[in-house]
Every structure is written in C-alpha cells, then in structure tokens.
Structure 1
Amino acid sequence: MRIGDVAAATGLTTRAVRYYEEQGLLSPGRTPSGHRTYTPADIRRLRTVSELLQAGLTVSDVRSFAHVLDSAPLRHPSGAGEPDRCDVAEVAQHRLGELDQRIARLSSIRDGLASQLTNRFGDLFAPAPAPAPAPGPAPASAPVSRPGNCPAPDGT
C-alpha cells in the first residue's frame, strides 16, 4: 500500500505520515526502488498514534512507549508490573498531572479576573458562574443581555 492510500485510510496527510516516520513512530517497508510500503499493521499503528495525540499526549510521549503500541494487551495476564506497562503508565500519569496543573492555574486566573471585574465595576459586571466541564462539544451560547448601552466584546 502506498503513502497516499495510508493517508486516506487514517485521515492523516502524507506529510503527517512522513513526520511520524521521522519521529520513530512508524517503520514502513521499502520497495527495491525506495518507495515506502505500508501494511494493515502500519495503518492500525497510525490510528493509535493519532488517537493518543488527539487525547493530549505529545509526539515525545508516544515515542517513549512506541515499542509497545502494537502489543496487545498492554496488561500482562499475571498482573505483574512489567517495564512496558510501567512506561505507558508513567508517561500517562505525567501528562495527566501537567494537565491538572494547567487546569488549576487557568481556574485561578479566571477566578482572579472575575473578582477584579466585580470589584472594579460592581453592578455593571455580573460574571456568569464557571461552566461545568461538558463531555461533548460546547453548546452554542445564548445571547447575553447587557446592562445599559454596553457593547458586546466584538463591538456589536
């Protein structure tokens, strides 16, 4: 299978496929003339890589446990903590911890801004409560009523 076919099958660009190869996440075969050839296993790997990146891991994170991407299952039947499983867990816990820190920092910034606006503008600013995280796409927001002749942030 050629790179264009793989890109179409995975929803990636040919450039992304080449980049993942450069990063050591994929090792396609080569024809005698040097053209890349891909197998169904390569497509599965690229889909896995894409899903992990979309979930919030970095290329570096995925590269650190790329050697176990194709193994199934990651969990050893004995339940023993083999090194491969530990690599994945360590990277995942590190990334989740970083995201938790970023969320806490952004929540603190949001609360500080809302407090400053309330203190400075009182009645003119009635902050909306912090939104609860939603599992799906954000719903379309309803029009906001503004006191007096206050323009919307976009100037309308």
Structure 2
Amino acid sequence: MRIGDVAAATGLTTRAVRYYEEQGLLSPGRTPSGHRTYTSADIRRLRTVSELLQAGLTVSDVRSFAHVLDTAPLRDPSGAGEPDRCDVAEVAQHRLGELDQRIARLSSIRDGLASQLTNRFGDLFAPAPAPAPGPAPASAPVSRPGNCPAPDGT
C-alpha cells in the first residue's frame, strides 16, 4: 500500500505519516526503488498514534512507549506485556498530572479574576458560575444586565 492510500485510510495527511516515521513511531517497508510500502499493521499503528495524540499525549510521550504500541490490547486481562506497560502508565500519569496542574492554575486565575471584578464593579458584574466538568455545552444567548454590550459589541 502506498502513502496516499494509508493517509486516506487513517484520516491523516501524507506529511503527518512521514512525520510520524521521522519521529520513530512507524517503520514502513521500502520497495527496491525506495518507495514506502505500508501494511494493515502500519494502519493500525497510525490510528493508535492518532488516537493517543488526540487524547492529549505528545509525540514525545508516544515515542517513549512506541515499542509496546503493537503488543497486547491495553485492557488485555491476560497481563501479556505487563512489564512494558509501566512505560505507558508512567507517561500517562505524568501527562495527567501536568493537566491537573494546568487546570488548577487556570481555575485559580479564573477565581481571582471573578473576585477582582466583583470587588471592583459590585452589582454591575455578575460572574457566571464555573462550568461543570465535562463537554462544553452548546452556546446559549447570554443575558446582560442593563445596556451592557457583549464583548464583541453586539
């Protein structure tokens, strides 16, 4: 299979496929003339890499445990490949910890801003409640007190 076919099958660009190869996440075969050839295993690996990146890992994170990407499924109850899974767990815990720190920092900034605006403007500023965890709700019209324009001037 050629690179264009793989890109179409995975929803990636040909440039992304080449980049993942440069980063050591993929090792396609080569024809005698040097063209890349891909297998169904390469497509599975690229889909896995793409899903992990969309979930919030970095290319560096995935590269650190690329050697186990094609082993037993993550939820394999047999425990096959368990010793190597420590790499995955370590990277995942590190990334989740970083995200937790960023969330805490942003929540603190938000709370500080809301407090300052309330102290400065009192009743003119009615802070919106902090959003509940989970997917963002669909945008709804925001009612504004008095004749306050929206930030975009409407």
Q: Measured at CA, do residues 55 and 132 of structure 1 come closer, stay the same or move farther in structure 2, by a change above 3 Å?
A: farther
1:77 is displaced (CA, Å) by: 6.2
Give TM-score, length-normalised by structure 1. 0.89
Larger deviation, residues 71-80 vs 5-14 = 71-80
CA distance in 2, matches of 1:131, 1:69: 41
1:30 is displaced (CA, Å) by: 0.3
Contact 1:65-1:88 within 8 A present in 2 as well: yes
Aligned length: 154
Q: Measured at CA, do residues 55 and 131 of structure 1 come closer, stay the same or move farther in structure 2, by a change above 3 Å?
A: farther
Where structure 2 has 5 or more consecutive residues not aligned to the other structure, the ranges are none
Larger deviation, residues 56-65 vs 131-140 = 131-140
Q: Measured at CA, do residues 145 and 82 of structure 1 come closer, stay the same or move farther in structure 2, by a change above 3 Å?
A: closer
1:138 is displaced (CA, Å) by: 2.4
Q: Measured at CA, do residues 81 and 36 of structure 1 come closer, stay the same or move farther in structure 2, by a change above 3 Å?
A: closer
CA distance in 2, matches of 1:143, 1:85: 47
1:101 is displaced (CA, Å) by: 0.4
1:131 is displaced (CA, Å) by: 6.0
1:134 is displaced (CA, Å) by: 6.3
1:73 is displaced (CA, Å) by: 3.5
Deviations 1:43-79 (A, max 9, x none): 0000000000000000000000000000014578675
Contact 1:75-1:85 within 8 A present in 2 as well: no
Deviations 1:19-59 (A, max 9, x none): 00000000000000000000000000000000000000000
What is residue 29 of structure 2 aligned with on the other side?
Answer: 29
Give TM-score, length-normalised by structure 2. 0.90
Q: Measured at CA, do residues 17 and 133 of structure 1 come closer, stay the same or move farther in structure 2, by a change above 3 Å?
A: farther
Contact 1:28-1:38 within 8 A present in 2 as well: yes
Where structure 1 has 5 or more consecutive residues not aligned to the other structure, the ranges are none
CA distance in 1, matches of 2:14, 2:73: 29
CA distance in 2, matches of 1:11, 1:131: 38
Contact 1:45-1:69 within 8 A present in 2 as well: yes
Contact 2:10-2:47 within 8 A present in 1 as well: yes
Q: Measured at CA, do residues 134 and 12 of structure 1 come closer, stay the same or move farther in structure 2, by a change above 3 Å?
A: farther
Q: Measured at CA, do residues 92 and 11 of structure 1 come closer, stay the same or move farther in structure 2, by a change above 3 Å?
A: same
Contact 2:118-2:127 within 8 A present in 1 as well: no
Q: Measured at CA, do residues 39 and 130 of structure 1 come closer, stay the same or move farther in structure 2, by a change above 3 Å?
A: farther
Contact 2:7-2:14 within 8 A present in 1 as well: yes
